[in-house]
Amino acid sequence: MISDVLFDAKNDIEYYLTELTFSDVYSDAKLREQLHELMISMEKIRVQLDTEPDIEQIFESLKTKIEERCKIANIEYRKIIFDNDNTEGLEILLQEGRSKRSVIISISNTRKAGILLEHRFENYKFLSGYNGICSYEDKYIEVLINSLDKSSIQKIYDRLFNLDNSRNYLNNISYENDTKLELTYNSSEGLNITILISPISDIAKTLLGNIQDDSISLKISGLNITQQDKTVSYLEKYANSIFFQIDLILGLPLTVQRIQTQEENILQHDAQTTLNIKYPVCQYDKEALSLYWYARSANEMPLLQYLAYYQVIEFYFSTYSQIKATRTIQNLMKTPGFNIHNDNDVIKVLNIAKSSLARGFITEISQLEATLKECIQISLLKEFLEKNERLKSFFTKKDKMLDLEALALN
C-alpha cells in the first residue's frame, strides 16, 4: 500500500537527519528545511490514504453527475428510497423497443455508478426480447451467451477458448487474448464489421444487472443500425451463422440469451399469485407428464415446444373420445323412441362405439374437440382471455398474412 511506503520513507528520512553519523552529509540548512516540508507533505497524504472515504458523499456526487447527463440526453429518471436501509438511490429508464427497462443505482453498489459515468450510457438501449444492449451511435450490439445443452460456464470457457485450465481462469478473471474469438469482415456495403465472443463488458454487466462476473457475450460492432427491428435482425443473422459453425466444430450448441418481458409473455401469471404447494393427492400419467416437462425445457425451440404440448393433449384423445361416445350412447338409449329390440337402433349404438374405438374412423379434429370440451370450462377460458388484452387481440382479429379467421368470444 502507498500509505505504508510513505510511512517507511518518512521514518527513514528522520533517521538520516537525526543520526549523528550523517550530520555532516545533510548539514545544509536549506536542504534540511526542504526535507522537513517533504515529510510533512508525505504524512498528510498518508493520513488521507488511511482515512476511509465518505461513501455517501462519493455516491451523492456520482448520482448528481448521472442525473445531469440524463437531463441533457432527455432520459427519464427518478429518485427512489430503499426500504431495507432507507437510503436514496436512482432509477434510470432506458429504451427497450417501444417500452423501457430500468437500471437501479444504489449506494451499496457505488462502483456501478462509476462505470456508467466512464461510458456513454446515454447512447445505450436494451434489446427487446434479448438479454443484451445496443448503441446506434457506437454501432454496437452486445448480448449474453449461454449453452442449449446447459453446459457449465467452466465447460464453455474450456471448449470455446481451449484453455488448459479453465478453473484457474475463472478464479482469476482476466481479459487476455486467449479468452476471445474475434472475426472481422468487410461487407458489400462498405462496413467494417467486427464480431467478438469474449467475457462480458463492464457496461453490459452494469446495465443488465444480476450478471455473473464470468459471463460470456457476443459483441458485434461496425453495423449501421438505427432501429430496433433491424438491430435484432442483424443479431440473429450473425449469431446463427457463427454459432452453427461452432456447434459443427466443437459440438457446443451456443445461443444468445432471450428474455420474456411481462408485455411479451402472453401467459404471464398474476404477480400477486402466491405459491401454494400441497402434498400430492393426484397421480398423473407418466407419459403425458414426460411430454409436458420436455415442452417446458424447449424454450429456445418454439415449434418443437408447440408439438410437445400438443402431444400432451393428443395422449388423451382416445380417453375423451370414448367418454364422448359413451355419453352419446347413453343419451340415445334414454330417448323415448329407442327400442333395444329394434335392429336399426342397435346398429346406431354399434356405429357410435365403432367410431370411438376404430383407429382412423374418427378424425383428429373431432378427437381434439372432444378432449378440449371435456378439459376446458368455457366460462374460465373466456375469463382468461378477457383478462389478457394482448392474447384476446391476437385471437379476435383476422390475420391477413396467415389468412386466419378471427375467433368470436361468444
Q: What are phi and psi of 249, to 5 degrees?
A: -85, -45
For residues 228 and 128, what is the distance between their CA atoms, to the nearest angstrom? 8
Query: Residue 223 in contact with residue 191, Cβ under 8 Å?
Result: yes
Residues in a beta bridge with 267? none
| Most distant pair of Cα atoms in the chain: their distance | 139
List per-block mean pLDDT (blocks of 10 residues) for the chain, which spans 410 residues: 82 83 79 85 80 78 92 92 80 91 87 91 93 94 87 82 56 55 80 89 91 89 90 86 79 81 51 45 72 77 89 87 69 68 67 58 81 87 85 80 77
Q: What is the pLDDT of residues 118-129, one digit of tens each?
A: 999 999 999 988
pLDDT of residue 170: 44
Helix, strand, or coil here: 52?
coil
Query: Residue 240 in contact with residue 150, Cβ under 8 Å?
Result: no
pLDDT of residue 357: 55
H or E segment and range at residue 225: none
Query: Residue 320 in contact with residue 370, Cβ under 8 Å?
Result: yes
Give, in order, the Cα–Cα distances in Å from 213 to each of 135, 168, 216, 233: 22, 14, 9, 28
Helix, strand, or coil here: 158?
helix
pLDDT of residue 173: 45
Give, in order, the Cα–Cα distances in Å from 238 to each of 81, 218, 327: 42, 10, 57
All cell numbers assigned to 87: 437510503
Spatial neighbors of 229 by CB under 8 A, at least 6 apart, are: none
pLDDT of residue 131: 93
Matching residue, cell 408485455:
263
In this prediction the pTM is 0.56
Query: Quick one: how far is CA 12 from the chain centroid?
Result: 57
pLDDT of residue 52: 66
